Structure 1
Amino acid sequence: MATTNPLQFIQQVRAETAKIVWPTRREVVLTSVMVFIMASLVGIFFALVDLAIRSGLTGVLAFFGTN
């Protein structure tokens, strides 16, 4: 494995850092809104699934006469 001296390492880090493309403000806002919407939809979905399972289980237990 080749070793690099600290100066070469810093130069390589600066070269890689120069390649970073930061998102625009519009992209950040848009993706944040999309994440919020998807998280809300998933939360609603699981709340409905929980409600259905709870209702079904309550119905089954009531059918067999267990309190």
Structure 2
Amino acid sequence: MARTSPVQFINQVRAEAAKVTWPTRRETITATISVIVMAVLAAIFFVLVDQIVGLFIRSILSIGG
């Protein structure tokens, strides 16, 4: 395994970091809003499913009692 000096390593890290395509401010805001909207929609969906399943289970348990 080839060993590199710390200076070479830092130079390689800088070269790789320069290749990164960073998102623009607008892209970051759009992605953040999309994630928040999807999280809210998922939360609403799971609350509704939980309520429906709970209602179903309560109705089954009330038959026996």
Tell me which interval the TM-score lies in, with the shorter structure as reference length: over 0.9
Aligned to 2:33: 33
User: With structure 1 as the length reference, what TM-score do the two structures score?
Assistant: 0.91
Alignment of structure 1 residues 6-25 onto 2, 5 Å: 6-25=6-25
**More helix per residue: 1 or 2?**
2
Q: Give the fraction of aligned pairs with identical amino acids, expressed as a percent.
A: 49
> How large is the RMSD of aligned CA atoms in angstroms?
0.8
Unaligned segments of structure 1, at least 5 residues: none
- The structural deviation recorded for 1:20 is 1.5
- The structural deviation recorded for 1:6 is 1.1
Deviations 1:35-56 (A, max 9, x none): 0110011000100110011101
What is the number of residues matched between the two proteins? 65
Q: Which amino acid aligns with 2:20?
A: I
Unaligned segments of structure 2, at least 5 residues: none
Which structure would you say has the larger RCO, counting Cα contacts within 8 Å and 6 or more residues apart? 1
Structure 1 outlier segments of 4+, above 3 Å: none
Aligned to 2:52: 52
CA distance, structure 2, for counterparts of residue 12 and residue 33 of structure 1: 35
